[in-house]
Amino acid sequence: MSYNSSLLYRLLVPKPIRTKILLSRLQKEIPAYHEASIGFKEDQERKEVVDYVRNHGVQIFPYHFTKNYKQEEIQVYHDDECGMYFVLQECKRLYFKKKWSVNRIKKSLHDLTLEQDEMSPHRYLSNDFDLDENDVLADFGAAEGNFTLAVVDRIKKAYLFECDPEWIEALEMTFRPWKDRVEIVPKFVSDKNDEQHCSGDVFFNDKEISFLKIDVDGGERGLLNGFKKILQQTTNMKIALCTYHQHNDEQEFTEMLTQMNYSVTPSRGYMIFHYDKKIKSPFIRRALIRAQKN
């Protein structure tokens, strides 16, 4: 069964009420579904999620580490020279869209920081899956660029792919100190090439690349389809690929990359991506997979 998929339902019922109804239903259905499934008693990862949902309700990240982050404690600063707000990320300035309010920035940074917590299923890196001074990073779905900013001092080069002009303006401010190693590319990356789009195979045909971070709001299939040649031919490649936007992402992407001789490992834990109007059992999804070919 899917939720919030009826157009009439979405037209007649206000979004806050729809969300409340959905979360209430999921809080009942997630434990019921998993507790009745084969192997649940031996599956500690799923048991942890079910226990959390039963006792605390449904959250995108159903884990206790989320309680460690307080949005109201975030400090936001204003740059009078450019008219934009920024926050400090490891003593480096991370700028946001000029029209964003302080409260919106605090909410965004809260979520970004939570995503990359060491216990988060959405964390791109791990102790044995990291970048170094020889890596060239492609950040697909860069937005504010927090991931690249976190690693910019220890990589060879980075390409940030972002089409939103307001984000590009913020990225240019954030990465001014690293102009020599950061290139902002104002295009969508997919399986076609035109004024607004480019494929990975075409863009990186004559460029070095060794690490892909892919979080493109459901556009992952098109991106991978336009990258097959390089992904198949390149060695020493690492890919942090989000798999929570659509129901079968983890299975399909794992199969695709395995066929290209990548070793694929999911991050630990699950997300409950209730923003998906078509969410259905088993309701929980792996946040991302880490793929590597040596």
pLDDT at 240: 98
213, exposed or middle or buried, with CB in 10 Å at 0-12, 13-18, 19+? Answer: buried
Q: Is 1's pLDDT higher than 70?
A: no
Q: Token digits for 54?
A: 């039963």
For the chain, list the strands marked E by DSSP: 77-79, 84-89, 92-95, 136-140, 157-161, 182-185, 188-190, 197-199, 211-214, 237-242, 263-266, 288-293
| 214 DSSP 8-state letter | E
**Residue type present at position 190:** S
Q: Is 31's pLDDT higher than 90?
A: yes
> For 187-219, how does the pLDDT look when each residue is reduced to its tens digit (9 = 90+)?
999 999 998 999 999 999 999 999 999 999 999
Report CA 199 to chain centroid distance, whole Å. 20
How crowded is residue 19: how many other Cβ atoms within 10 Å of its Cβ?
A: 14
pLDDT at 189: 94
pTM for this predicted structure:
0.93
CA quadruple 185, 94, 152, 273: dihedral sign: negative
CA torsion, points 214, 218, 221, 224, in degrees to nearest 10? -20
Helix, coil or strand: residue 184: strand
Mean pLDDT rounded to a whole number for the chain? 95
> For 127-147, how does the pLDDT look when each residue is reduced to its tens digit (9 = 90+)?
999 999 999 999 999 999 999
- Beta partners for 264? 291
Q: Is 3's pLDDT higher than 60?
A: no
CA quadruple 229, 248, 110, 50: dihedral sign: negative
> For 217-255, how does the pLDDT look when each residue is reduced to its tens digit (9 = 90+)?
999 999 999 999 999 998 899 999 999 999 999 999 999
**Which architecture, in CATH terms, is 71-293?**
3-Layer(aba) Sandwich (3.40)
**Residue where the block lists tokens 């460029």:** 207
What is the C-alpha to C-alpha distance for residues 26 and 47, in angstroms, rounded to an integer? 15
Sequence ranges of the domains in the chain: 7-58, 71-293
